[in-house]
């Protein structure tokens, strides 16, 4: 993309000064109004990831961790950081500025009321984008149900009183399935690995530490460690 943010530092105290803080805190969530950006390939699906329904995530408006009530599709960060992958750090500018999503257009760090108003409204979901893709959507939906975060949280709560290790085994089976389905669609389906976090959400091995569980994999063995 050649389009660049050309906003210059303002003097009124109510203009973007291109400090980059908002871009460094994470990419935007997508809304129905943003669908055309993905459908037209202006923002490729491989640049996105999904926070799945029920997953614990930080709510910027409420300022705390909550289970999200629907998918939240977001732009990936750079490497292991939350910095939006389209943020040009040396130039302090957006590389997709003319095609930036709705939340980016609404955000004014000096007055967040507009963003807060639309934050949870008309969110774009994987079903909106993928439900008509025969075969693949069935796989996505099956994964979501088998790796349901409500069930996962209940199993984690049961670990404290689990003399027969039943909850531990069931949780390990879910994690193993999450790992295997990702490997399968790449090795047999030819899927671009960069698409996995969008199609299936982030791997459980990366999200479960937020629930106090660290996942260690050695070969086919899954070990759960409380942190």
Q: Are residues 146 and 210 in the same domain?
A: yes
Residue 64: strand pairing partners: 59
pLDDT tens, residue order, the chain (227 aa): 333 344 444 444 567 888 888 899 888 999 999 999 999 999 999 999 999 999 998 877 777 888 999 999 999 999 889 999 999 999 999 999 999 999 999 988 888 889 888 988 999 999 999 999 999 999 999 999 999 999 999 999 999 888 889 999 999 999 999 999 999 999 999 999 999 999 999 999 999 999 999 999 988 889 999 88
Residue 168 lies in a domain: yes
Work out the number of other CB atoms within 10 angstroms of the CB of residue 50.
Answer: 21
The CA-atom distances, in angstroms, between 7 and each of 14, 15, 64, 91, 112 are 12, 9, 31, 12, 19
Q: Are residues 92 and 176 in the same domain?
A: no
Residue 7 lies in a domain: no
Give the structural domain span for 84.
21-126
Q: Are residues 169 and 191 in the same domain?
A: yes
């Amino acid at each position: 993309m050649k389009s660049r943010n050309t906003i210059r530092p303002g003097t009124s105290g109510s203009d973007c000064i291109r400090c980059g803080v908002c871009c460094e805190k994470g990419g935007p969530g997508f809304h129905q109004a943003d669908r055309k950006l993905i459908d037209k390939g202006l923002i490729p699906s491989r640049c996105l990831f999904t926070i799945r329904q029920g997953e614990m995530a930080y709510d910027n408006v409420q300022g705390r961790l909550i289970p999200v009530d629907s998918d939240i599709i977001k732009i990936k960060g750079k490497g292991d950081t939350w910095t939006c992958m389209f943020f040009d750090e040396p130039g302090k500018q957006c590389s997709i500025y003319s095609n930036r999503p709705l939340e980016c257009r609404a955000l004014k760090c000096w007055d967040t009321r507009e963003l807060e108003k639309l934050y949870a409204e008309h969110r774009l979901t994987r079903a909106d984008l993928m439900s008509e893709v025969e075969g693949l959507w069935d796989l996505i939906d099956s994964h979501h149900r088998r790796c349901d975060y409500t069930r996962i949280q209940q199993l984690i709560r049961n670990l404290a009183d689990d003399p027969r290790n039943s909850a531990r085994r069931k949780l390990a089976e879910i994690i193993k399935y999450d790992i295997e389905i990702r490997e399968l669609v790449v090795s047999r389906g030819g899927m671009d690995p960069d698409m996995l976090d969008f199609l299936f959400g982030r791997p459980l091995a990366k999200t479960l530490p937020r629930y106090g569980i660290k996942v260690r994999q050695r070969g086919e063995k899954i070990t759960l460690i409380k942190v």
